[in-house]
Amino acid sequence: MQQTDWSGVRERVEALSRHPHRDAIFGADDHEMRLEPPLTADKLADLERSLSVTLPKEYRTFLTQVSASGAGPAYGVFPVRRDDSGA
């Protein structure tokens, strides 16, 4: 399986955020073309442990190399977080 090259993705999204017509991009009103910081390897391991799953490799590399959430297709990449509410 070929691994996705995520290099330059953050920079391209940041460039789009400065584009004068960025509001015409579907979903930009919601995510405002912002990216959260990527997860550290420790935070990713903690997330997978708390969810009792191993995320797909491509998604794992996106989360650790690009962003934990933010700008993306349509309404953006929703954050993956533990629910510590006990509900």
Q: What is the pLDDT of residues 20-70, one digit of tens each?
A: 776 776 666 666 677 889 999 999 999 899 889 999 999 899 899 988 877
Q: Please give the pLDDT value at position 3.
A: 79
Dihedral angle of Cα 60, 64, 70, 75, to the nearest 10 degrees: -20
Query: Could you tell me which residue, 46 or 77, shows the higher pLDDT?
Result: 46
Q: Please give the pLDDT value at position 83.
A: 61
Nearest to 60 by CA among 80, 75, 76: 80
| Residue 12 burial (10 A CB sphere; 0-12, 13-18, 19+) | exposed
Q: Please give the pLDDT value at position 81.
A: 67
Give SS3 for 54.
coil
Q: What number of other Cβ atoms are within 10 A of residue 28's Cβ?
A: 19
Nearest to 74 by CA among 21, 29, 34, 7: 29
**Band of residue 74 on the pLDDT scale cut at 50, 70, 90:** low
> Which pTM value belongs to this model?
0.71
